[in-house]
């Protein structure tokens, strides 16, 4: 799934449910996989993706 995220951020035509978050999650992205949500923070300069949280639905944001 993270490979698809990287391709999407690089402008590729990839089918992945991802949105940029706002508020307290500024600079983070949400990847949706069925009922799971994965919160990631990419560092484009160092080419690193930090996985912050993995959880079900809205629980991951708490």
Q: Which residues pair with 20 in a beta bridge?
A: 29
State the pLDDT confidence band at 62, using cuts at 50, 70 and 90.
confident
Q: Measure the CA–CA gap between 43 and 18, rounded to whole angstroms.
A: 16
- Structural domains in the chain (count): 1
Burial class (CB in 10 A: 0-12, 13-18, 19+), 48: exposed
Kindly state the average pLDDT of the residues 14-23: 95
Which domain does 22 fall in, by range?
Answer: 2-61
Assign residue 12 the CATH number of its domain: 3.30.2310.20
| pTM of the predicted protein model | 0.88
pLDDT digits (tens, 9 = 90+) for 23-40: 999 999 999 999 999 999
pLDDT at 46 over 90: yes
Q: Measure the CA–CA gap between 46 and 42, rounded to whole angstroms.
A: 9
pLDDT at 18: 96
């Amino acid at each position: 799934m993270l490979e698809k995220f990287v391709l999407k951020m690089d402008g590729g035509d990839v089918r992945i449910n991802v949105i940029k978050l706002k508020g307290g999650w500024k600079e983070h992205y949400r990847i949706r996989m069925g009922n799971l949500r994965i919160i990631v923070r990419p560092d484009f300069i160092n080419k690193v993706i930090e996985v912050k949280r993995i959880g079900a639905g809205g629980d991951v944001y708490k």
